[in-house]
């Protein structure tokens, strides 16, 4: 199974469902921590947008406006993130975690999405499609920074209590 060749639709589906899993976890954090409900809901909404943009890019591979490099796709890294997301989501059903832990997990998810460079599987000459990819990367940076700021705030407040 390890050497199995992944086709472009499989890769795009994995990347899109990865965004959806992140959205589901954030939505659940929003429900678990209503004090930051708006923060997590807005992140979840943007992750869902990313999923639909990635599926839109998939349509562009058919008319060759965009190319997906199967060699650059790191199936193991994507699966690791998916497993991690599923594990954290399952954990929320059995235990109550502190808000600082949820924020710290949010920072590490966004950080790993930045570092893993998942979206470098895409190659395109189209300015419009490049803009979509840049927007996903920029949103991820903004998410990481917002989550980091919120984490710092909650850490400080906790020390004061």
- Positions in the binding site for Fe ion (CB under 5 A): 140, 143
Cβ proximity to Fe ion: between 21 and 140 the closer is 140
**Left, alpha or beta for 117 (phi > 0: left; psi -120 to 50: alpha)?**
left
CA distance linking residue 159 with residue 72, whole number of Å:
44
CA distance linking residue 157 with residue 48, whole number of Å:
31
| Closest residue to Fe ion using C-beta atoms | 143
Cβ proximity to Fe ion: between 60 and 106 the closer is 106
Closest approach, Cβ 136 to Fe ion, in A, equals 8
Cβ proximity to Fe ion: between 47 and 66 the closer is 47
Closest approach, Cβ 110 to Fe ion, in A, equals 5
Query: Which are the contacts of 6, defined by CB distance < 8 A and separation ≥ 6?
Result: 14, 70, 73, 75
Closest approach, Cβ 159 to Fe ion, in A, equals 27
């Amino acid at each position: 199974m390890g050497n199995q060749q992944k086709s472009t639709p499989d890769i795009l589906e994995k990347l899109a469902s990865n965004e959806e899993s992140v959205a589901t976890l954030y939505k659940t954090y929003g429900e678990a921590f209503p004090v930051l409900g708006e923060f997590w809901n807005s992140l979840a909404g943007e992750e869902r947008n990313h999923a639909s943009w990635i599926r839109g890019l998939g349509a562009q591979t058919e008319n060759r406006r965009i190319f997906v490099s199967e060699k650059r796709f790191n199936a193991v890294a994507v699966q690791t993130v998916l497993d991690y997301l599923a594990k954290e989501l399952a954990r929320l059903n059995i235990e109550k975690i502190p808000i600082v832990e949820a924020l710290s997990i949010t920072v590490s998810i966004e950080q790993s999405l930045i570092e893993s460079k998942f979206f470098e599987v895409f190659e395109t000459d189209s300015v419009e499609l490049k803009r979509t990819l840049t927007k996903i990367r920029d949103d991820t940076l903004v998410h990481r920074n917002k989550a980091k700021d919120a984490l710092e705030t909650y850490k400080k407040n906790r020390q004061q209590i």
